[in-house]
Amino acid sequence: MTTKSQLYAQVAEASGKKGTTTKAVLDTLFGTIAKSLAAREKVVINGFGTFDTIDRQARVGRNPATGEEFAIPAQRAIKFKPAPALKGLL
């Protein structure tokens, strides 16, 4: 697992830029993606993948231990579809 701070360090090292500059750029990138998704806009990063939102309907769930039913409310979720180039790395 790579943490956010490790990601900052790896990108800073690979780009030869200062850590603070890299952190600011990546924070802006993550924030822009989040704002676009909140506005229900699809975010496409060629060669990496597509972020999009989906609406999940309300449904009834069941507790596997007791069998008791409970309501799961409708919600919006984020989905990610990797690009073929990214899938090829796995």
pLDDT tens, the chain, 90 aa long: 989 999 999 999 999 988 889 999 999 999 999 999 999 999 999 999 999 999 999 999 999 999 999 999 999 999 999 999 999 988
Both 48 and 31 in one domain: the answer is no
Both 25 and 36 in one domain: the answer is yes
* 3-class SS of residue 68: coil
Both 48 and 20 in one domain: the answer is no
**Domain span at residue 20?**
1-40
Both 87 and 46 in one domain: the answer is yes
Say how many domains are in the chain. 2
Both 68 and 54 in one domain: the answer is yes
pLDDT at 17: 87
Residue 3 CA to residue 23 CA, distance in Å, equals 13
Q: Is the pTM of this model over 0.85?
A: no
Residue 54 CA to residue 80 CA, distance in Å, equals 10
Both 2 and 28 in one domain: the answer is yes
Both 47 and 75 in one domain: the answer is yes
